[in-house]
Amino acid sequence: MSKHSPSPYMVVLAGSASLAIAMGVGRFAFTPILPMMLHDGVLDLSRAGELATANYVGYLVGAVAAMAVPRRWDHTFVIRLTLVTTILLTALMSAPYAEAWVALRFLAGVTSAVGFVFTSGWCLAQLSGTGSSIGSAIFTGPGAGIAVSGLTASGMTVLGLSGSTAWLVFAAISAIISGIIWKTFGKSSKPSDAYSVGAPTRASGKVPKSEMPLFAIAYGLAGFGYIVTATYLPVIAKNSIPGSPLLTVFWPLLGLAAVFGSLLAARVKHGADVRLHLTGAYLVQAVGVALSVVWHDAFGLAISSILVGLPFTAISFFAMNEVRRIRSSHHSRYMGLLTAVFAIGQILGPPTVGAIMDRVVDVDVGFDLALAVASIALVVGAAIYVLMILLFPGERERRKSRTTGPSNLKGEAPRSSPM
């Protein structure tokens, strides 16, 4: 093990790859494999919803568990453990024991959340004080993982491979990538508190108690708003344009859009109110979700995938910066709260789809209703941010009102660092 910390570029590449495994495989590999499993006849949409819900419940448990891990623990050991565990859990999904799949997807969700928190925390710790501005590139990992898993599943579908084979292929790919980045996650003397690196301080002043609950509700609505598309997109596409050669491109397209969106989010102006960025991101995603309801051809689904994917990681990027402004002290607790509420929003998605499907005869109508509800949830979330802007002035306004009075609001807000 090297005595020196890895270079910033190696940290970013390893971090992005680790998040690609934790999120792209641990959480979302099920989405492109789902049509293959449906075709194999090993599950139906109701059972698929149970597996998806189990994974999202696991993610909630993992997020809470990650908050409780002592800071003195060796974070690189935890990262390596999550990589190995994700590989094993993914490979075990190929076994013909359907009664074990719920447990496996639950454990994959737990591992995914822990891997996300510890990887991002360790990587940001290594980059702190280096003067590097590439830290946000770490968060291209989830989108890249979605894109790679989607493209790989597309190739396997063309070859007529089974869902069980797909799980083994994803496990093998994860193992190869883990082997490549393994040495980068060596011990470092730098602290690895996942949520304390580069946290901006705020000027003194009382924070309204109702601000954080509103923020948490809005963020939870984002979890519910995107998850119907993120869980069922390939199935929705198959029902909308059956037999089309483009059926398998929409999921990787969403992933590629997420990569671009995460890079774009890091380049937005820091002087503007972050809640404006969140409002815009929610509305973009709401339009993307709604488009798949009213525009059922390949082009409409492609535009929908792009618009849903663009804000995919950007929303979390903006939200984690904003919570550090709202709660500069004990912000890890509140970031954990946001992650948990977001996970609850995700958990509600598949049961909502299942409840709607039980009450309609046509599957397409059921998906349209579920997507419409999801789009409305995102619009409501955006409206909450607008309400917060009106009720609670941003840091720039607070600072200027203290120094120059309310009539002069010109100036710059403090720069926020990545998640």
Q: How would residue 324 be classed by pLDDT, with cut points 50, 70 and 90?
A: low
Per the document, the length of the chain is 419
Phi-psi region of 137 (alpha: psi -120 to 50; beta: other; left: phi over 0): alpha
Which pLDDT score, from 0 to 100, does residue 122 have?
Answer: 83
Report the range out of 132-146, 310-324, 368-382 with the highest average pLDDT. Answer: 368-382
Which pLDDT score, from 0 to 100, does residue 181 have?
Answer: 93
Is residue 203 predicted with pLDDT exceeding 80?
no
Continuous H helices in 295-330: 298-309, 314-326
Which residue has better confidence, 234 or 78? 78
Q: How would residue 377 be classed by pLDDT, with cut points 50, 70 and 90?
A: very high
- Mapping DSSP to helix (H, G, I), strand (E, B) and coil, where does residue 205 land? coil
CA angle, 119 then 277 then 379, to 5°: 105
- Rounded Cα distance between 310 and 259, Å, is 8
Q: How would residue 285 be classed by pLDDT, with cut points 50, 70 and 90?
A: very high
**Which residues are CB-neighbours of 216 under 8 A, at least 6 positions away?**
337, 338, 341
Is residue 198 predicted with pLDDT exceeding 70?
no
Do residues 169 and 176 lie in contact, with contact meaning Cβ atoms separated by under 8 Å?
no
For the beta carbon of residue 280, count every other beta carbon within 10 angstroms.
16
- Rounded Cα distance between 104 and 122, Å, is 26
Mean pLDDT (whole number) for 176-180: 95
Residue owning tokens 């789009």:
375
Is residue 290 predicted with pLDDT exceeding 80?
yes
CA atoms 395, 398, 404, 406: torsion sign: positive
- Rounded Cα distance between 154 and 114, Å, is 29
Q: Is 129 exposed, middle or buried (CB count within 10 Å of its CB: 0-12, 13-18, 19+)? A: exposed
Which pLDDT score, from 0 to 100, does residue 271 have?
Answer: 66
Distances (CA, A) of 287 to 22, 139, 236, 276, 380: 28, 23, 17, 17, 13
**Whole-number average pLDDT of the chain:** 80
Q: How would residue 164 be classed by pLDDT, with cut points 50, 70 and 90?
A: very high
For the beta carbon of residue 77, count every other beta carbon within 10 angstroms.
12
How many CA atoms within 13 Å lie on the side-chain side of 364? Answer: 11
Which pLDDT score, from 0 to 100, does residue 328 have?
Answer: 52
Which pLDDT score, from 0 to 100, does residue 249 have?
Answer: 83
Q: How would residue 395 be classed by pLDDT, with cut points 50, 70 and 90?
A: low
Which pLDDT score, from 0 to 100, does residue 401 have?
Answer: 45
Least confident of 92-96, 101-105, 376-380, 399-403: 399-403
Task: Kindly report, residue by residue over 65-103, the tens digit of the pLDDT.
Answer: 877 776 666 788 889 999 999 999 999 999 988 889 999
Which pLDDT score, from 0 to 100, does residue 231 have?
Answer: 79
Mean pLDDT (whole number) for 130-157: 81
CA Rg, the chain, in Å? 21
Which residue has better confidence, 270 or 312? 312
**Which residues are CB-neighbours of 77 under 8 A, at least 6 positions away?**
none
Mean pLDDT (whole number) for 172-180: 95
Taking the chain, what is the end-to-end CA distance rounded to the nearest angstrom? 28
CA angle, 334 then 339 then 343, to 5°: 145
Do residues 385 and 275 lie in contact, with contact meaning Cβ atoms separated by under 8 Å?
yes
Which residue has better confidence, 204 or 3? 3
Is residue 414 predicted with pLDDT exceeding 50?
no
Which residue has better confidence, 188 or 299? 299
Which pLDDT score, from 0 to 100, does residue 1 have?
Answer: 41
